[in-house]
Amino acid sequence: MANWLWFYIYRKRRRRNRVTLRWEIVREQLSYNQRTGWLVWKVSKQCVGVGMRAGSQHTKGCRTITIYGKSYLEHRLIWFWMTGQWPKEYIDHKNRKRDDNRWCNLREATHSQNYVNSQEFGPMRGILKRESGSFRVRSIIDGRRKSFEVKTLALAKRLRRKLEKQEWGEFSCVRR
């Protein structure tokens, strides 16, 4: 039989034998400390003992935990552990620290809300310097793109923060 056929059969078997992660399984294997934001093993496994912090640090700053051969992001498991339901889209860290998984720091978000609260946007989002030396502030208000012109960078930043707070509410990053 061809090599690709064996690979196909093997993959099919692996998918079929996967266990769907249920809330009871998570609760019986992991314990959550809301003060520290850590998930800790309740059962001993190959390389970990009871009471050890679950998972490992991911390259992007968040932690991953493997249960039954499948990796999960720690903050998503915490949401599942606390509510009994998987998040619909994303879990946002209010303080933008990906390894701070305290319950008071987590909230459910859409893709755009999560992106607005990310580090990737940078400090000068929506502010453009013009050749004349003035600054253009752009924002979307009520579904329409608006732009305003101001003379100084300080005014532009203040206006942008105000517009951002109006547009995104609690998800806006006014800590710049």
Q: Report CA 50 to chain centroid distance, whole Å.
A: 27
Q: Give the three-state DSSP class for 2.
A: coil
What local confidence, expressed as pLDDT, does residue 124 receive? 67
118-148 residue pLDDT tens: 665 545 677 888 888 888 888 776 677 888 8
* CA–CA gap between residue 96 and residue 86 (Å, rounded): 21
58-74 residue pLDDT tens: 877 888 988 888 889 99
Planar angle of CA 59, 75, 176, nearest 5 degrees = 75
Please give the structure tokens belonging to residue 161: 């923060």
Closest of 175, 167, 160, 162 to residue 126, by C-alpha: 160
- For the entire predicted model, the pTM comes to 0.65
How big, in percent rounded to 5, are the helix, strand and coil portions of the chain?
A: 35, 25, 40
* CA–CA gap between residue 137 and residue 147 (Å, rounded): 5
Q: Judging by DSSP bridges, how do beta strands 30-33 and 90-93 pair with one another?
A: unpaired
Number of H helices, E strands in the chain: 5, 10
2-21 residue pLDDT tens: 555 555 555 555 554 455 78
